[in-house]
Structure 1
Amino acid sequence: MNHFKKSLLTVSLLLAATQTHAAGFQLNSQSASGMGRAFAGDAVIADNASVLSRNPAAMALFDRPTLSAGLTYVDIQVDVKDVNFAGGQIDLGGIEDAGSTKLIPNFYYVHPLNDKWAVGVAAFSNFGTGTDTSSLLNGASIAPYDLIGKTEVTTVTLNTSVSYRVNDMLSIGAGLDTIYGKGKLTRDAGNIPLVNVDADGMGFGGIVGATLELNPQHRFGLSYRFSPTVTVKGDINVINNQELPGLGTQQLAIDFNKLEVPLADIAQFAGYHQLTERFALHYTAQYTFWGHFDQITTKQGTATIASGDYAGVQAATDVTAPLKKYHWKNSWLFSLGGTYQLSDALALRAGYMFDNGVVDELSSLSIPDSDRHWYTVGASYQLSDAMTIDLGVAQVCGTEESLIEHSALVGDVNAKTQSKATYYSMQFNYRF
C-alpha cells in the first residue's frame, strides 16, 4: 500500500514537471500555423518565429526580426466507463468527461544579427491538463480511493537559442530550455486525505538542430532535445498504514520534500517541399526515448505516527523509497500536411498525425493512454507585408483501451478509458 501510493504520487508530479512529447500526455499547442498542418514540417518550414519550439537552426532562414504570439484553447475529454472490482461484483459505473479545458499562450522572437548569426527567445507549453474522477466514488463505502481523485497540471518551457549559417546549404543551432512545472493532486478516502500534493519544480535541458537546404523549394530539418531530470519540491503529504517494530500497525503521515524525475529525450526529422507555385507538402517523424524512463525515487521524507496513542512520534527520517517500474516504450509520431496558397493573402492548411502511445505492459486508470489520431485544418491571412494572422483547429481521437490496475485497497480494478481533445488556436506574426 505504501509503495503504490507513493508511485501514484510520483506519476502525478511527473506530469507536473515534464515537457512530455507522447500520446496520453502531449499538448501540441506551440503554434496555430503548426496546428493547421498537424505540425508536419515544423522543424524546417520557418514561416514564422514559432519554429523555435522545434529547431533552433531554422532561425538561419530569417532575414528580418520576427515576432509570433498566440493562444490555444484546448478541450480535453477523458471518458472512463465500466469501472469494477471484486471480480465484477462491484461496479462504480463511469464518467463521460473527466477532462478539463485549458488556455495555453505562446511567444517567440527571432532576431538575425547578420547573414551568419541569429538569436531567439521563446515561451511555450508542452503539457497541461487536468482530470477529475471523484464522481466515480458517489458515496461508495468500498472503493479504490487510491486511484480516484483530482489532478491538475501546468508546465512552461522558456527557451533561448542561437543559430549559425555554415554555408548556403547548411545551418546549425542550439538552445537552452528552462522547464517549470506545477501540479496539484488529491486522493481522499471519505474524510481521510490519502494523498495531498501541491508542488512545483524546475529543470534545465537543451536542444540542438540542423537544416539542409537543397534549394529554396526543398529543405530538411533535424533536431534533438535533451530532457533534464526535474527536481520537484513542495507540500507532498501521504497517509498510509505500516507495521512498525514493537508498535504494531500504525497510521503514518509521510511528508516528502523532493522527487527527482528523469525525462525522455526527443529526436525529430522534418521535410518541406514546394511542389508547385501554390502547393507545398511537408512531413515530420519524431521519436521519443520513453524507454529510458523506468523508475523514480522519493527523496528527503519524514514519517510521523498520525493517530492513536503514539500520535506525533517520529517514526523515520530522511525516507527514500524506490518506486514501481513503468515499462514504458519508446514512441513514434508521424505527421503529413499540406499548404495551398489560395491567393496572395490567404493560405490554407490541412494535416494528419499518428501519435503512438507510450504505455506498454502496465496500464493505468491514472494515465489513460492510447494511440491517437490528429485531424487538423488551418489558414493564414496576410494583413500586410509585415503582419499575418494564423488560425488552426485540431480534432484528436484516441482509441478505447481496456485496463487492469491494482489498488492497494480493493485489489485489481477493471476499466475502459478513451481520451480525445479539440484544439482551437490563433496566432499573430509580425516581421519588423
Structure 2
Amino acid sequence: MKFKNIARLIVVASITVTTGTALLLWSSGLFAAAGGLAFPEQGGPISGTAQAGQAAVARDASTAWLNPAGLTRIDKTQLLVGAQIIDLSAEFNPDSRTTTTGSDGGNAGGSFPGGSFYLAVPVNQRLTAGFSFTAPYGLPLEYKSDWVGRSYATELDLLTINIEPSLGYKVNDWVSIGIGIDFQYADFEQKMIVPAGPVDLNVAIDGDSWEVGASLGILFEPSATTRYGLIYRTEMAHDLEGDLNTIVNRQVSASQTIPQSLTFSAYHELDPRWAILADVGWTDWSAFDRTVININGPAAQLERHLEFWAGCALPVSQELAAYDRRFVCQFSGV
C-alpha cells in the first residue's frame, strides 16, 4: 500500500539525565517535586539543543507540539517518532530538624523510557494540520522501606499522556498563528508506610483523570534567517478519582492543577553554518499551592499548602545550521 504524500519519516533517539534533591514530600504526595515533574525533552531533534529555541525553530513535525504556528513552515507531510531514556536521580538529605528515625532512602530515581509521535500535514498554502502524542509530565520515585519519610511515601508514580490535534495558519509572509487542543490523561499511584500502634500499616492510593486544555502559538519571521516564537499552554485542573487501599478500602478523589506556562523563543542564523537559539520561559508553579484529597468515609480531608513556588528557564545554545538531516531515515512509501 502506497502513501505518496508521505515525504519523510524521522526517528530520533536521545538520553536525558535529570539530577536533583527531593527537598520535601507532602501529605498527599500528589504531583510532588513540582518542576521535577515537567519533562520538556520529548525525544525530538530539539533535545539536541536542550530545548533552546523550541517555539521558533519550526523545521520538523515536532513543532505540532512545540508551537503549532510553526506548522506553516512544513511544506510536505512529515511523520516523526521520538524515543528517549530518562535517567532520574532524586535524593533526600535529612538534617537535625528531621524528627523520625530511618535512612535517607537512597537514590529514589532510576531509568525509564519515553516516547513521542508527531505528524504534520499541509492542507493548502496557508493551512497545515498537526498531531502530537507526548508525555510532558511524569515522576517515578521509589525509596527504601526504612527511609525517614516512609509515612509520606515509599513509592510515587505519575504518568501523563497528552494527545493534541493542532492547526497552523499563515496570516502573511512573516506572521503565522496556531492552536492545539490538548486531551491529557493522568495516572497517579502512591504507596506509604503509616504507623498504626504496635505495627506499621501499608497504604496505597491510586487514581486517574482526563482533562482538556489548549495551546496557543504565534511565529514571527522578519527575515529568512530570523524567527521568534511564542507558545502559551493553559492550565489543566485534574480531578483524580481512585482507591485508597488499606485494611478497609475506600474511594478517594483529589484535585490538582497542571500549571499554565508561557515560552518565548528566538532563532537566528549567524551564517550558513551556525545559528544561535534562545528561550525565556515562565511556569505558574503557584498552582501547586494546595492539594486536597477527599476520602469517602468517616475520615476527612487532607490538605497541604506550599508557601512559595517560582519557575523560569533561560537556555541558550548554538547549533550547526547546515547539515543533511536525511541520515535518520527517508522514504517515499510504505
Per the TM superposition, whether the score is higher than 0.5 is yes
2:190 corresponds to which of 177, 185, 190: 185
2:138 corresponds to which of 121, 128, 142: 128
Q: What secondary structure does 2:53 align onto?
A: coil
Measured in 2, the distance between the counterparts of 1:334 and 1:60 equals: 26
Larger radius of gyration: 1
Measured in 1, the distance between the counterparts of 2:180 and 2:330 equals: 22
Q: What secondary structure does 2:64 align onto?
A: helix
Measured in 2, the distance between the counterparts of 1:265 and 1:229 equals: 10
Q: Is this contact kept in 2: 1:158–1:177, CA < 8 A?
A: yes
Per-residue CA shift, 1:290-322, capped at 9, x if unaligned? 1243223334x322xxxxxxxxxxx47xx5x36
Opposite residue 109 of structure 1, the aligned amino acid is L
CA 1:85–1:330: 2 relative to 1, 3 Å: closer
Greater strand proportion: 1
Opposite residue 235 of structure 1, the aligned amino acid is D
Identity %: 21
Measured in 1, the distance between the counterparts of 2:178 and 2:262 equals: 15
Structure 1 residue 74 displacement after superposition: 0.8
Structure 1 residue 145 displacement after superposition: 3.6
The higher relative CO (CA closer than 8 Å, separation ≥ 6) is in 1
Q: Is this contact kept in 1: 2:152–2:193, CA < 8 A?
A: no
Measured in 2, the distance between the counterparts of 1:295 and 1:157 equals: 23
> 2:22 aligns to what?
none
Structure 1 residue 214 displacement after superposition: 0.6
Measured in 1, the distance between the counterparts of 2:268 and 2:149 equals: 53
Opposite residue 263 of structure 1, the aligned amino acid is I
**1:206 maps to 2:214:** yes
**1:382 maps to 2:316:** no
> 2:170 aligns to what?
165
Opposite residue 332 of structure 1, the aligned amino acid is C
Measured in 1, the distance between the counterparts of 2:239 and 2:45 equals: 33
Q: Is this contact kept in 2: 1:211–1:219, CA < 8 A?
A: yes
Opposite residue 48 of structure 2, the aligned amino acid is G
Q: What secondary structure does 1:324 align onto?
A: strand
Q: Is this contact kept in 2: 1:187–1:195, CA < 8 A?
A: yes
Measured in 1, the distance between the counterparts of 2:164 and 2:290 equals: 27
CA 1:211–1:78: 2 relative to 1, 3 Å: same
RMSD over equivalenced CA pairs, Å = 2.7
Write out aligned runs for 1:398-413 (5 A).
none
1:283 corresponds to which of 278, 290, 297: 278
1:325 corresponds to which of 284, 298, 305: 305
Per-residue CA shift, 1:208-233, capped at 9, x if unaligned? 01000011200100111002111211
> 1:352 aligns to what?
none
**1:302 maps to 2:296:** yes
CA 1:263–1:86: 2 relative to 1, 3 Å: closer
Structure 1 residue 189 displacement after superposition: 3.8
Opposite residue 184 of structure 1, the aligned amino acid is E
Q: What secondary structure does 1:330 align onto?
A: coil
Gaps of 5+ in 2: 1-24
Q: Is this contact kept in 2: 1:26–1:126, CA < 8 A?
A: yes
Opposite residue 270 of structure 1, the aligned amino acid is S
Structure 1 residue 195 displacement after superposition: 3.1
> 1:97 aligns to what?
107
> 2:81 aligns to what?
69
Measured in 1, the distance between the counterparts of 2:330 and 2:293 equals: 44
